[in-house]
Amino acid sequence: PISYPADHLPAWLATLHGYLPFEHMANVVRDSLVDRLSGNVARSYLVLSLWGIGATIITAAVLGRRK
């Protein structure tokens, strides 16, 4: 969905797509290459931060269960 417009997706999938990290990572990369090209980059950083925190918590829980 980075190169495929989200408005071509079904409504439920377009909503889900807004919370997945793919488009947000593309926005951050675009913003790092060209200033002021992307729209709301702060939201993209927030979504990516939440995914990173969530992945860290899940990884720590899985590693904590291993003995």
Tens of pLDDT, residues 6-37? 888 899 998 998 899 988 898 888 888 887 76
Nearest in space to 62 (alpha carbons), one of 29, 6, 54, 37: 54
In whole angstroms, how large is the CA radius of gyration of the chain? 15
How far is Cα 21 from Cα 30, in angstroms, rounded to an integer?
14
pTM of the model: 0.78
